[in-house]
Amino acid sequence: MLHVTPHEVRIPALGLGTFGLNGRVAERIVGHALAAGYRHVDTAQMYGNEAEVGAAIRHASVPRDQIWLTTKIWPDRFRADDLLRAAEESVRRLGTEPDLLLLHWPNPDVSLEETVGALNEARSRGHTRHIGISNFTTALIREAVAHSPAPLLVNQVEYHPYLDQSAVLGELERHGMTLIAYSPIGRGAVFRDRTLQRIGEAHGKNPGQVTLRWLLQQGVAAIPRSAREAHVEANLAVFDFALSDDEMAEISSLARPDGRMVQPAVGPDWD
């Protein structure tokens, strides 16, 4: 299933997140995911596995032009010259230009005008096909868009049933951008949820599959991470059923004020 952005860019709606996958495990899991049918792989400089992800892509039987590859630049390299060097380094480690290059987290100590300008320059130099942002609030989305001559394709953020992201979704829609959800199954919390268990039983699916389907039906792309081949395959089995409007609403009602699970020191003041 492809998600078609307002800019007519086709992104596979379901991808593999690779945070915490290192060394041979990263290469093995990425290779298995591609063989199983995934065509979207997400990594980052901070994950320390770009070389392994790139190796898995090179060794896969899937042509490179059929794989959507995303990487991200850590905010300590947001000064213009350093960002351009970082983008070049990612290309070398991956062994290929990524399809999408993101700013991993906002950095209040460097102006967005400088950082987004450098991100656009990285695109112009061929270090990536497309550019975007990650973990940006509604105000930062507006500011980033204002400084970017090229379209910012996505904002990658935490999103699962326990976290209301309606404000971010609305802002992205206004700018023709797509939301890509990381931690989409709430670090496993969805598997203990009775509401999601009940809905899953009605469809012959587990709570993780129900949650991924909930995201996809909102027009959101999702990048669940798993270190187990069986879970990688299970996450892919979400295209043969649909949730009703009532089920969608019931899942959305699980959101709560303390639902955010990823709150590092570099995080912004959230909406």
Coil, strand or helix: which one is 41? strand
The phi and psi torsions of 4 (rounded to 5 degrees) equal: -100, 115
Nearest partner of 70 among 90, 95, 100, judged by Cα: 100
CA distance 72 to 45: 6
Report the chain's terminal Cα–Cα distance, integer Å. Answer: 30
H-helix segments, 15-105: 23-36, 50-59, 80-94
CA distance 188 to 226: 10
Could you tell me the sign of the dihedral formed by the alpha carbons of 206, 211, 214, 216, in that order? negative
Kindly name the residue from 47, 159, 162, 182 that is annotated as catalytic.
Answer: 47
CA distance 112 to 92: 26
**Amino acid of residue 259:** G
Query: Which residues have a Cβ under 8 Å from the Cβ of 258 and sit 6 or more positions away?
Result: none
Query: What does the DSSP 8-state code read for residue 5?
Result: P
DSSP string, 194-224: HHHHHHHHHHT--HHHHHHHHHHTTT-EE--
**Does the annotation count 47 as an active-site position?**
yes
Nearest partner of 227 among 61, 55, 52, 94, judged by Cα: 52
Strand 68-73 and strand 221-222: the pairing is unpaired
The residues that are catalytic are 47
